[in-house]
C-alpha cells in the first residue's frame, strides 16, 4: 500500500475529493493532510474523513525537520500539493525526488509563478482575453510552477465568464482528473 500525503492551505475541496477516491483503492491511501493555516477548512474535512492532520508554521516548514520527520514516521511515499501556496523547501525536494506533484488552475507555462493562485489566476486569464484555460498537473521543483508537466486538460473561456464561473469550470476539471492522474503516478512508482 502506497501512502500519500496532501498539502493544502485552504478549502481543501480537492483534498477531500482525493481522499474519497483513494478510500476505494486497494493500492494507495491518503494517510496525512498537512496544512499551514490553523483555520483552513481542509482541516475540518480531514477530521470528518478520519485522516490525521499536521498544522505547521513558516518557521517549522523552512527551518526544521518537523515535517520531514512526520512524513518518514508515517512512511509516506508521495506528496500531493492541492491548493498549497508555499514553495517547497530543499529538504523535502531532496527526500522525495520526483515524488511531489502539484495542480495549477491554468495552462502552464502561462499564468504561473509566485502570487498566481486561486482567483488571481482566473482574473489574469480573463484579463488577458484567453479563449482557453484549464488545469496543469506537474512535478514540483525549486521554482514556482516550473516542474515538468504530467497532464493538462482544457476548458473554454467564454466572453461572459467571470473569475467565479471560470473557477467552477476549472474545479470540475480538477475533480474529474486529479485523483486518476495521482493514481497513475503512484502506481508507476517502485514499491
Angstrom distance (rounded) from CA 191 to CA 177: 24
Rounded least distance, CB 123 to ligand GAR, Å: 12
Q: Which position among 104, 138, 139, 177 bears the catalytic label?
A: 104
Q: Identify which range of 23-31, 51-59, 62-70, 117-125 contacts ligand GAR by CB under 6 A.
A: 117-125
Q: Are 62 and 34 in contact (CB under 8 A)?
A: no
Site membership for ligand GAR, residue 165 (CB under 6 A) = no
Angstrom distance (rounded) from CA 92 to CA 19: 22
Among positions 117, 130, 133, 138, the unique one binding ligand GAR when judged by CB under 6 A: 117
138 carries an active-site annotation: no
C-beta closer to ligand GAR: residue 73 or 148:
148
Site membership for ligand GAR, residue 103 (CB under 6 A) = yes
Angstrom distance (rounded) from CA 83 to CA 102: 8
Q: Are 71 and 93 in contact (CB under 8 A)?
A: no
Among positions 3, 11, 21, 146, the unique one binding ligand GAR when judged by CB under 6 A: 11
> Cell numbers of 142, please?
525549486
Rounded least distance, CB 127 to ligand GAR, Å: 16
Q: Identify which range of 70-78, 88-96, 99-107, 158-166 contacts ligand GAR by CB under 6 A.
A: 99-107
> Cell numbers of 130, please?
484567453
Contacts of 133 (CB under 8 A, 6+ apart): 105, 106, 107, 111, 122, 125, 154, 155, 157, 166, 169, 170
Catalytic residues: 104
Residues near ligand GAR, by CB under 6 A: 8, 10-14, 82-83, 103-105, 116-118, 121, 170-171, 174
Amino acid at each position: 500500500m502506497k501512502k500519500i500525503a496532501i498539502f493544502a492551505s485552504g478549502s481543501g475541496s480537492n483534498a477531500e475529493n482525493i481522499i474519497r477516491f483513494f478510500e476505494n483503492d486497494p493500492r494507495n491511501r491518503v494517510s496525512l493532510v498537512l496544512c499551514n493555516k490553523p483555520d483552513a477548512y481542509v482541516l475540518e474535512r480531514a477530521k470528518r474523513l478520519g485522516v490525521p492532520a499536521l498544522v505547521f508554521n513558516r518557521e517549522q516548514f523552512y527551518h526544521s525537520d518537523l515535517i520531514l520527520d512526520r512524513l518518514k514516521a508515517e512512511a509516506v511515499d508521495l506528496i500531493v500539493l492541492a491548493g498549497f501556496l508555499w514553495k517547497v523547501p530543499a529538504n523535502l525536494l531532496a527526500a522525495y525526488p520526483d515524488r511531489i506533484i502539484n495542480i495549477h488552475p491554468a495552462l502552464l507555462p502561462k499564468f504561473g509563478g509566485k502570487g498566481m493562485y486561486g482567483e488571481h489566476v482566473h482574473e489574469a486569464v480573463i484579463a488577458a482575453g484567453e479563449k482557453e484555460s484549464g488545469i496543469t498537473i506537474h512535478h514540483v521543483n525549486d521554482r514556482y510552477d516550473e516542474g515538468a508537466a504530467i497532464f493538462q486538460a482544457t476548458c473554454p473561456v467564454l466572453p461572459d465568464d467571470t473569475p467565479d464561473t471560470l473557477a467552477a469550470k476549472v474545479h470540475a476539471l480538477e475533480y474529474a482528473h486529479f485523483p486518476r492522474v495521482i493514481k497513475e503516478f503512484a502506481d508507476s512508482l517502485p514499491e
